[in-house]
Amino acid sequence: MQERTLVLIKPEGVQRHLVGKIISRFEDAGLKIVGMKQVWVDKEFAKKHYTEDIAERRGEKVREQLLNYIIEGPVIAIALEGVNAIENVRKIVGGTEPKSAPPGTIRGDFAHVSFAYADAKNIPVKNIIHASSDEKDAKHEIKLWFNEKELHSYKTIQDFFM
């Protein structure tokens, strides 16, 4: 099933020059970039991304840390398309806690901080990247980050053989 999902390379990933390495993982897996841009997010926009339900699920402190983290620097927003894109992107990205993310995943290879360490230091878990969690989130997030003119359809070599 073809679907779209959102990936954000967070400020630390941009600042550490990991953008190309991260993008290549998605392209190597056969996912198609249908939208991409660099954005410097302000707090009001960040609140639209990290909505109140984050606070309900994970606490207001965590939401505030996420809001502050995403506005630290530029973010690369990417809309990806492919077969089971949401599930496949989440596998490539790895678990939310970098310490627990397996080697070979983006978080497992490029981040290492645990929830416990971040809590002790009162800092956000800098896990490099965001990926939509499910179809509902993907649709909401893509619409938030991209307008229709910024999303493009085209055929890749895989399309000719599928």
pLDDT, tens only, 45-62: 999 998 877 756 777 888
Reported confidence tier of residue 138, pLDDT bands at 50, 70, 90: very high
The mean pLDDT of 83-87, rounded to a whole number, is 97
Q: Is the residue at 50 inside a domain? A: yes
Number of helices (H) and strands (E), helices first, in the chain?
9, 4
The mean pLDDT of 122-144, rounded to a whole number, is 93
Domain total of the chain:
1
Distance CA 48, CA 84 (A): 26
pLDDT for residue 56: 67
Catalytic residue list: 130
pLDDT for residue 162: 63
Q: Is the residue at 38 inside a domain? A: yes
38: containing domain: 2-148
The CATH code of the domain that includes 116 is 3.30.70.141
